[in-house]
Amino acid sequence: MRKKIIILVLILTAGMQRLDAQKQPYMPGEKVTYQIRYGPVGSGKASIEINEASYRSEPVWHARVSGQTTGLADVIYKVRDTYESYIDPQTDLPVFCIRNIQEGRYRKYNEVGFDQRSRSDSTLVFSDLSGNHTAPKGLLDIVSCFYWFRKYYLASGVTPVPGETYEMTTWFADELYPIILKYKGKEVIRTRGGKIECHRFHPVTEVGRVFQTEEDMTMWFTADENFLPVKIRFDIFVGAFHVDMTSYEGLGAPLSFIEK
């Protein structure tokens, strides 16, 4: 009996340590806006935000990523892209997502539902374009994986080691799409608010029509309690895209600037 009690205490203690390690780096009300720069005429703006909402009468967190061209680029290309994810706050997994693409004359709209509860070994996926699918358990979409990464990897309490990779399975463009991020180390980044220490990651990209190497995309997340993405860079065949944070609100903690 004493041995069973000791084992139970150890299990509970380990569980509490995991819960403590998985701190909440974001909350509803958080919103970040960015400026996009590309070449002499390429410009745009983007935002990512998360708020409280409901889906089928159940409380959820509604995350939304939007991007659009501005200025001369808007006259030439006119991009209006939106990705939305409705996330179960108890599991941090998506229950529904929307992909709404408007790029010039091109249009693409897709709604996808996720049943994460019915099966213990898989996720049921319901797409309005391609029908029903069976996918791996704990499936994410392209927006929820961003928040999942911040919480379960960056805020896990485990110090990342350069060279390590982090993988998440998502549903994107109506198919399974693995997201793999390779950690490179810490780096000080200059933002409009000042210099801030960040974690640098390279999402592994597919070499081909757009990218020349697997490390042609770089993301910087703040190395504080927020793990906020403050900068993204895409290096492609015809140049580079720069995505820089311009404003933020609703953060769980103040950003830890080194120099303002």
- Evaluate whether residue 19 is within a structural domain: no
| Per-residue confidence band for 130, with pLDDT thresholds at 50, 70 and 90 | very high
What's the mean per-residue pLDDT of the chain? Answer: 88
Q: Residue 11 has what pLDDT? A: 31
Distances (CA, A) of 48 to 10, 108, 117, 163, 171: 40, 20, 27, 28, 19
Distance CA 227, CA 25 (A): 7
- Evaluate whether residue 13 is within a structural domain: no
Share of the chain above pLDDT 70, in %: 85
> Looking at per-residue confidence, does 19 or 72 come out higher?
72
Residue 213 has pLDDT above 80, yes or no: no
Give the domain extent around 139.
25-259
Q: Residue 39 has what pLDDT? A: 77
**Average confidence (pLDDT) over 142-163:** 95
Residue 112 has pLDDT above 50, yes or no: yes
Tokens 């042609």 correspond to 216
Residue 76, phi then psi, degrees to nearest 5: -85, -45
Residue 22, phi then psi, degrees to nearest 5: -85, 70
Q: How many CB atoms lie within 10 A of CB 61?
A: 21
Domain total of the chain? 1
Distance CA 89, CA 94 (A): 9
- Evaluate whether residue 4 is within a structural domain: no
- Evaluate whether residue 7 is within a structural domain: no
Distance CA 208, CA 218 (A): 17
Spatial CA neighbour of 55 closest among 110, 20, 5, 96 = 96
Interval 222-257: pLDDT, tens: 999 999 999 999 886 667 889 999 999 999 999 999
**Average confidence (pLDDT) over 127-155:** 97
CATH number of the domain that residue 30 is part of = 2.50.20
Assign 206 to helix, strand or coil.
Answer: coil
- Evaluate whether residue 155 is within a structural domain: yes
Listed in order, strand segments (DSSP E) in 39-130 are: 42-55, 58-69, 79-88, 93-103, 106-115, 122-127
Listed in order, strand segments (DSSP E) in the chain are: 31-38, 42-55, 58-69, 79-88, 93-103, 106-115, 122-127, 131-136, 140-141, 165-172, 175-191, 194-203, 217-222, 229-236, 239-249, 257-259
| Per-residue confidence band for 20, with pLDDT thresholds at 50, 70 and 90 | very low
Q: How many CB atoms lie within 10 A of CB 99?
A: 22
> Looking at per-residue confidence, does 12 or 219 come out higher?
219
Distance CA 76, CA 241 (A): 17
Interval 51-102: pLDDT, tens: 999 999 999 999 999 999 999 889 988 999 999 999 999 999 999 999 999 9
| Stretch among 17-31, 128-142, 191-205 having the lowest mean pLDDT | 17-31
- Evaluate whether residue 178 is within a structural domain: yes
